[in-house]
Amino acid sequence: MTSGTAKPSTPRAPVRAIHTGSGEPLLLLHGFMMSPHCWEQVAQRMAGHCEVFAPAFTGHWGGPELDGWFIDISALADKVEDQLDEMGWRTCHIAGNSLGGWVGFELARRGRARTLTAIAPAGGWQSPSLLQLRVGLKFAALVPLVEIGKHLPDAITYSGLTRQAVAMLLTKNTEAASRSGLEAAITSALHCPAMLPMLVSGLRFPALEQLSTLSTPVRLLLCENDRIIPNRVYAKRFLEELPESTDRILVHDVGHVPMLEAPDRIATLIAEHVYASRTRLRAV
């Protein structure tokens, strides 16, 4: 992964959305400073039995332009809802990672989710709170690195050393993450106009609502080696407040963005949840 020339291995083109496959409607939502590219391998695996739609969030690489200096979870969900309406998807299955999991819970609260697979979801804190401040400071520490990275030559930006550092942040098994996936993650971070607005607005984000009364079938996937929002503190509220019917699964040996290193496992865990819901519906 860390060897080879510094020239990026694949064209770094922004993607408004990945849209592929046929069958059950499945919405895939990426994390903060990421893009639909992180879902490419999972989307390929799901396309045989699902119509997969993985959009870029507002203010993220490939997504709708950010209007102004305030953006919150509700605004992100509003734009995704507009896209679902355009596609004629009144409801769909949803899988979201990190920020995408948080938006997934908001869409479920609005009645748009048939099922929700929340993968290392963000938002498991009260507002305001020390936990909320800590995660904001963690991302704020990346701002200087991102600003410097925008002015570096590709030979440094996409070097083996940079890819290794990104892999260590996002994954457990760094060698399992593809070079193209890591390059896309780097490019996504460097082209994220929402970064500063979301950090500035973050302390005003309201806490997740109605976790205990959520009627949507939820599968909670916690990543064992999550370095971004470690389970021991950031998963507590999800574990305590989600309904007893929630599937709670610890995914071993993966980091915060497990789609990069274990796409087969993540696709299987999403597919199981989708098909379990179909079985429940037939039983009724």
Enumerate the active-site residues: 98, 226, 256
Give which of 74, 82, 131, 119 is closest to 226, Cα–Cα: 119
Dmax (CA) for the chain in angstroms is: 59
The answer to whether 54 touches 28, Cβ cutoff 8 Å, is: yes
Q: Are 129 and 234 in contact (CB under 8 A)?
A: no
235 closest CA partner among 117, 106, 104, 118? 118
d(CA 281, CA 258): 29
Rounded CA-CA distance 247/225 in Å is: 19
> What's phi and psi for 194, nearest 5 deg?
-80, -5
What is the identity of the amino acid at 228? Answer: I
| Torsion, CA 75, CA 80, CA 83, CA 85, rounded to 10 | -90
> Are 186 and 38 in contact, with CB atoms under 8 Å apart?
no
Q: Which residues in the chain belong to E strands, given as ranges?
A: 17-20, 24-29, 50-55, 92-97, 113-119, 218-223, 247-251
Distance in angstroms (rounded) separating the CA atoms of residues 165 and 96: 24
CA distances from 197 to 143, 259, 273 (A): 12, 26, 34
3-state secondary structure of 190: helix
Count of C-beta atoms within a 10 Å radius of residue 65: 8
